[in-house]
Amino acid sequence: MSDPRAFKNTCVLYMISFRHTDLVLALSKQKDVDRLRELCRGRKIPAENRADVWKVCLNVVGKPDALSSWDGLLDLQEQDCIRDDCRKQATKLRLPEDEAEEVARDMEGIITFYCKSRNEKYHSTSGLTEVLAPFMTLELPMNDVYNCFYALLYKYIPRNCVRDGKPFHLFRLLLQYHDPELCSFLESKKLWPDMYCQRWLRSLFVVACESEVLRAIWDLYLLEADPFLVFFLMLVMVINGRDTLFEMEHENKTELLETISSIPLQLEEDDIEDLCSLAQYYASRTPQSFRKDYYNQLFGIKTINSNSLSQALCLPVSISELVEVNQSGKKDGVRFFVVDCRPADQYNSGHLPTAFHLDANLMLQAPSEFATAANALFATQQQSIEAGSAASGEHLCFMGSGREEEDQYVHMVIANFLQKKSKYVSIACGGYLALHDLLSDDLSSGLADHSPSTCIVCNPEAFSDTDGLQELSREEKSPVDHRGGLVSMLSSAIKSGTHVREKLGKYIAESHQPVERHVSDKDKQSKLYRNVQPVFSIDDEDEGDNYSTSSEEETRKEAINIKTWLHRKDVISSYRCHQIVRNGQLVQSYILLTAVQLFILREIPKRDGWAHIQNRHHLTSIVKITSKRKHPDLITFKYGTCDGENIEVLETERYIIPNASKATQKIKESILELNGQQ
């Protein structure tokens, strides 16, 4: 060959072909996922090897033929729906007509057997046909197709990919952790994760990407063998679209939703490696506790799940991870800046050596001092990062005592930081109690200034409640001063978004010790109600039981048009408010007063202008109405029976009502008027 350049090009092509052949040979024989990952790093998986690679990643090589136990009957109640969905999905594979029909029949058989063997009812929204479709393009026997399909569903697609499902609560926590500003913006537009992520997640992007892009995503996802990676892939997609979304601030909700939903369609095959690298970077910059805490709720064998995901205000961090990370001395990944929010006396009796003290009580008792302390926190954090000290870390982890009645203030502080769009906000699960338990074998070296005589764990009586009851007259003003009551005091925090707002009720409802006062008999219209002490008082007693109904019960209640009910002729007055429900959340509600009844209407999320009739209370069932001494807008209604001196409380409801005194006075007058008629 006389031309040296032609000879060189031929050599290059030969070497590429040789390396490709070598890779194909290695992949065809390799059965170890770790080795496969090394072989495929930085390379595209050849199409002829994809089936073998996926089988290894899904651990189905040599698995028995599950389909052999099937009787072949296509007789489910939903069979027609399954058949139609399979045909629609098969046509999207762009196969010849006769081949598409055969694929549709095979898909119908696999999904029918899956539903029968799992005793599951088929729904078109389940995403089963979408998840199965990519396996139908591989040259695999049907038993291998079924095993791969089953393994992918079991290992890599979260359960409950339904409206308001747990996976979307987790995604929201991750988005809030890394980009609280974007999270707040989307929620202000009433765009919840299940609205734009649901179809992505339940089909693993099948419905959202072109086929070449999808195969590249699945190649990397399966090779990484990390079921939580899909959350970070979605996270990167949404965050990468943040500039476009903010530019559309004045567009309507539908256009914003269409823009988010179209993000995966903009990806090209060459983008996937960078996408996966970014997802892994975000994963490395996220505390790892959630993986262990939430795995059983989302993947694998079904278990009895807690509601911790839907109730979480921010990303939780286990005490063991908190201590391990900050003792490791690693400079990369997550480094925590611990914020101890307990009262000063508890902090001084034992704390982590690197913890910054921010007394949560200051937020309500001395707002200016709290603001000064918060500014000092950020300054100290920045100085520690620049100095590379043991306390350095961008990730704020807030710690309370671990005692629920005290930690309500801690949650308020966290809500305040979230409202200010602070990144990397988390909470230490179990607080100081869990920390003390973890370090119990060596408290002297693990804790600074530990004093057994005053430590709340070593000596629980050291901080027992000693406050008694105090008598107040109605003429005395509640100590709300210039802050103007609970609602105005928390208005800025409430604006941070529905999910944050819903948590605030939990953080204020139990905030003070008992202080009760009954209205004086000299008050206007102060005659005795049923010959017992007046039902109206100002108190701070614990009303922790008999909250309103659960979300499951709520779905069965009657839905009504709010505007229609507000204009009913029998409605004397109405009050928009927030009801504090069983799990501590605040939900938008209305109290409607008629001559004989109190109607409780709860707004239906994502259905503007409609509400459920939550309760109908006869006015004679109200045995007591109380307000918080320091938070007069926080009103408690007790319902039950009264027999002379004996009151039996059967139900308790709590509300935050703007200008609550007017509302309670009107309700009191109606009760007294009805009582006088009886």
- Concatenating the DSSP letter of every residue in 108-120 gives HHHHHHHHHHHT-
**Are 377 and 369 within 8 A, CB to CB?**
no
Neighbours of 568 (CB within 10 A): 11
Which residues make beta-bridge pairs with 448?
Answer: 351
Lowest mean pLDDT among 217-226, 360-369, 476-485, 660-669: 476-485
Q: How confident is the model at residue 550 (pLDDT cuts 50, 70, 90)?
A: very low
Q: How confident is the model at residue 11 (pLDDT cuts 50, 70, 90)?
A: very low
- Does 522 score more than 70 pLDDT? no
How far apart are alpha carbons 253 and 118 in whole angstroms? 38
What pLDDT is attached to residue 629? 73
DSSP string for 44-101 = PPPGGGHHHHHHHHTT-TT---GGGG-------TTHHHHHHHHHHHHHTT---HHHHH
- Cβ density class 310-341: b for 16+ within 10 Å, e for less: bebbbbbbbbebbbebbeeeeeeebbbbbbbb
Q: What is the pLDDT of residues 140-155, one digit of tens each?
A: 999 999 999 999 999 9
H-type alpha helices, 335-425: 344-347, 362-365, 367-387, 404-419
The two tokens of residue 137 are 């393009």
Provide the pairing of β-strand 395-399 with 336-340. Answer: parallel
- Does 129 score more than 60 pLDDT? yes
How far apart are alpha carbons 389 and 385 in whole angstroms? 7
- Mean pLDDT calculated for residue range 77-86: 95
601, 596, 598: which is closest to 565 by C-alpha? 601
What pLDDT is attached to residue 465? 43
How far apart are alpha carbons 487 and 656 in whole angstroms? 7
Neighbours of 582 (CB within 10 A): 13
How far apart are alpha carbons 602 and 597 in whole angstroms? 16
- Mean pLDDT calculated for residue range 272-277: 91
Q: What is the pLDDT of residues 97-109, one digit of tens each?
A: 889 999 999 999 9
State the DSSP code for 160.
-
- Does 515 score more than 50 pLDDT? no
- Which of the two residues, 284 and 332, has the higher pLDDT score? 284
Q: How confident is the model at residue 6 (pLDDT cuts 50, 70, 90)?
A: low
- Mean pLDDT calculated for residue range 321-343: 85
Q: What is the pLDDT of residues 560-574, one digit of tens each?
A: 889 889 988 889 999
What pLDDT is attached to residue 263? 94
How far apart are alpha carbons 316 and 308 in whole angstroms? 10
- Mean pLDDT calculated for residue range 286-301: 88
- Mean pLDDT calculated for residue range 631-656: 83
- Mark residue 204 as left, alpha or beta (left: phi above 0; alpha: psi -120 to 50; beta: remaining): left
485, 336, 362: which is closest to 416 by C-alpha? 362
- Mean pLDDT calculated for residue range 345-355: 92
- Mean pLDDT calculated for residue range 198-221: 93
How far apart are alpha carbons 113 and 111 in whole angstroms? 5
Q: What is the pLDDT of residues 51-78, one digit of tens each?
A: 989 999 999 988 999 998 898 899 999 9
How far apart are alpha carbons 528 and 671 in whole angstroms? 11
How far apart are alpha carbons 176 and 186 in whole angstroms? 11
pTM for the model stands at 0.68
- Which of the two residues, 552 and 618, has the higher pLDDT score? 618
What pLDDT is attached to residue 553? 46
- Which of the two residues, 17 and 436, has the higher pLDDT score? 436
Q: Which long-range contacts (CB under 8 A, 24 or more apart) does 432-436 make?
A: 432/340, 432/342, 432/346, 432/350, 432/351, 432/399, 432/400, 432/401, 432/402, 432/456, 432/457, 433/401, 433/402, 433/403, 433/457, 434/319, 434/402, 435/319, 435/322, 435/323, 435/352, 435/399, 435/402, 436/350
- Which of the two residues, 538 and 190, has the higher pLDDT score? 190
Mean pLDDT, rounded, of the chain: 80
Q: How confident is the model at residue 28 (pLDDT cuts 50, 70, 90)?
A: low
Which residues make beta-bridge pairs with 622?
Answer: 639
- Mean pLDDT calculated for residue range 660-671: 90
How far apart are alpha carbons 474 and 207 in whole angstroms? 63
How far apart are alpha carbons 120 and 310 in whole angstroms? 25
Which residues make beta-bridge pairs with 656?
Answer: 578, 634
Q: What is the pLDDT of residues 426-437, one digit of tens each?
A: 999 999 999 999
